[in-house]
Every structure is written in structure tokens, then in C-alpha cells.
Amino acid sequence: MKDLKQVIMASAGALVLATILAGPATSAYPERPVTLVVGSVPGSGPDVLARSMSEEFSQALGQPVIVENKPGAAGNVAAAQVSRSKPDGYRVFIGTINMAIATWLPKTPPFDPATDFAVVGRVASIPNVIVVSPKLGVKSIEDFIAMAKSKPGQLNYSSPGVGSLQHMGTDAMSNINGIKLVHVPYKGGKASTTAVLSGEVEMFMAGMPPAIPHIKGGTLLALAVSSAERFPLLPTVPTLAETVMPGYSAEAWYGLFMAKGTPATIVETANKALNKALSNAMVIERFKAAGAAVQTSTPGAFAKFVATESSRWKKNLEELGLAGTR
């Protein structure tokens, strides 16, 4: 009988122990700090957005949110790492449109944005804006196209790199309108903006954040935005679609991603917290100052959007002969 008693005691003990051990897995996510991974240096576009919402995201999650910068390969070093991290929801990546573009450049793509992540939700979108120096003497995008037609192959444009959204966008605009511009790549959007300011190049299809202080300060002239609708921060600036590129729209988007295989309940919890943080007036205001418009979504809708974007830019890079070349 003594033996049986011991067995019962041992099993009871084991059961208690098992409950304790299993506790973390079944109890509510999150129960320790969450890391928000940024794929670029502090001060970059995604970093500003991550830090602008980390406080409110943390309040909504009920746990501290730590921003971690892991720069490299246009954010893809961090993206690849998060996609392969433990699927427990504690490493969240603030992904950008570069996930859907830059991943197709190397010979072996580091990941497929559509299938290698658990998609949490959309954060914001930032359209591109075509800027020129006020000294160039053009007042509208039509003027600029006309000038480019009269000087074929003489005007230069900057971009943050071969195969960037800005490069592909300008290339598409040139093809549709039958103009010839010379591409001058720079290291990043800020250097590309400086090139227009100094007159080294004539035009830049800029991301909003580096351009907006100069548009407001009058040192750069905004000719058109790349979003489907006019951008709330620049209501008087027409879209490319309503002027020289009918039907065209392309925006830099931002969203949160977790490792492939993260349980749906965790993704749901994070999505709700994210959307709550993004509804905060302070966050909206800070995003606005950075040139971004807050956008929310369900995990499913954003996942579908990412898949569409991924195939769109993959195709575009293939047409340019850039896919799988690095």
C-alpha cells in the first residue's frame, strides 16, 4: 500500500509540476516584454514610426515594448531573422514594402513575404512625392514631363538605390510618358533629397519623411503624389493617377509581422493591441508629423495585401531584369 501511496503522491506532484510548467503556454499572451524589431538604423523611417507608437502599443498589450534596431540589407536581415525566430509572438517585426521588393533581388530570396510570416496587421502607409527644386522653373508635373520631352536624356533623377520603389516608380512614369531621364542612385532617401536641394539632380520621387520638411520650408516643390487618393498632408498636390499616370498607385507600407507558425490567438491579441494603439490621437499626430498616414487592418486582410504586393513587385523587378541578380 505504501507503494501505491507513493505512486499517487508522485503523480499528484508531477501533475502540479506539469500544470506549473504548462502554465505559461496556456496563460494569456503577452506575459513578458515584447521586442519590436526595426530593420534599419535609429532615426530611419520605420524606426520613427516604431518609436512613435511603442509606448501606446505597450499600454495596449500590458507589457513593455522594447524597440530593437537590427539594420542590414534594406531591413531584410531582420525580416529573415524574425521569420525564423521562435513562433511565440515575442519578436515582432515592423516590416516595410522593402520586404516585398528587396527579397527578390538576391539569387536565393531570403524569404517569401507572403508565406514565411504570421501577418499581424497594417500600421501606416506613406506615398511617394515627386519633388523638384523651385529653381527648375516647372510648376506642375505636366510641365516637368514637357521639359523632359524637350531635353531627352538630359535631366537626372535620384533614388535610394537600384531596384528601390522610387527607382521603379520613376522608371514606370518615364515609360508611360515616353520620356528619358538618367538614374543617379544614392545611399538612402536623405542623400537623394539633398541631391535635389543642391541641384545635383533635377527630380526625386521621394518618400514622404525626408521630403516633407523641405516642402513645408519652400526649398522643394511637390509636383505629384503616388497614392491613389490625394495625401491629407498635401491636399493641393495632385496624384500621379489624375495627371500623368492614369490608374497608377504605389505606396510604401508598414506593418507588423511575427514568425511563421505563431498561433492565431497570439496574432489576434497583437492585432487588437496594435489597432488600439493606432487609434490614439497622439500616435496619429506623431505619424502625421513624420509624413505617414495611420492605417489599420485585420491580420487576414493585410496578409492578402502583402501577397498581392509581393507578386506585383516581383513581376516588376523581373521586367527590369533585376530579380535574382545579386
Question: Rounded to whole angstroms, how far apart are CA atoms 256 and 89?
Answer: 11
Minimum CB separation of residue 282 from other proteins in Å reads 10
CB-count exposure of residue 107 (10 Å: 0-12, 13-18, 19+): exposed
Query: Residues 76, 103: contact at Cβ < 8 Å?
Result: yes
Out of 59, 63, 140, 194, point to the residue binding other proteins (CB under 8 A): 194
Contact call for residue 218 and other proteins (CB under 8 A): yes
| 14 is a contact residue toward other proteins (CB under 8 A) | no
For residue 216, give Cα distances in angstroms to 151, 211, 222, 232, 233.
29, 9, 10, 14, 10
Residues 111-170 that bind other proteins (CB under 8 A): 156, 161-163
Minimum separation from the CB atom of position 213 to other proteins (A): 4
Residue 178 has phi, psi (to 5 degrees) of 65, 35
Among residues 27 and 198, whose Cβ is nearest to other proteins?
A: 198
Rounded CA gap, 87 and 260, in Å? 6
CB of 165 to other proteins, least distance (A): 13
Q: Copy the grid coordinates of residue 157.
A: 533623377
* Least distance (Å) between residue 248 CB and other proteins: 23
Does position 232 interact with other proteins (CB under 8 A)? The reply is no
Q: If binding is defined by CB under 8 A, does position 217 make contact with other proteins?
A: yes
Of the candidate residues 174, 219, 243, 280, the single one contacting other proteins (CB under 8 A): 219
Site residues for other proteins, 62-81, by CB under 8 A, read 68-74, 76-77, 80
Total residues contacting other proteins by CB under 8 A comes to 58
Min dist CB 30 to other proteins, Å, is 19
Q: Does 290 help bind other proteins (rule: CB under 8 A)?
A: yes
CB of 40 to other proteins, least distance (A): 10
Contacts (CB under 8 A) with other proteins, residues 235-274: none
Residue closer to other proteins by CB (options 71, 238) is 71
d(CA 291, CA 294): 10
- For 226, the 3-state DSSP assignment is coil
Return the ∠ at Cα 76 (arms to 75 and 77), rounded to 5°.
95
Q: Which position among 32, 151, 216, 312 is part of the footprint of other proteins (CB under 8 A)?
A: 216
Binds other proteins (CB under 8 A): choice among 59, 63, 106, 296: 106
Question: Residue 96 and residue 79: Cα distance in Å, rounded?
Answer: 10
Please tell me whether residue 94 adopts helix, strand or coil conformation.
strand
H or E stretch covering 149: helix 141-150
- How far is 1 from 280, CA to CA, in rounded Å? 65
Q: Which of 242, 188, 233 minimizes the C-alpha distance to 208?
A: 233
Instruction: Work out whether 44 is an interface residue with other proteins (CB under 8 A).
Output: yes
- Residues in contact with other proteins by CB under 8 A are 41-44, 47-48, 51-52, 55, 68-74, 76-77, 80, 105-108, 110, 156, 161-163, 182-187, 190-191, 193-194, 197-201, 209, 212-214, 216-219, 285-286, 289-290, 322, 325-326
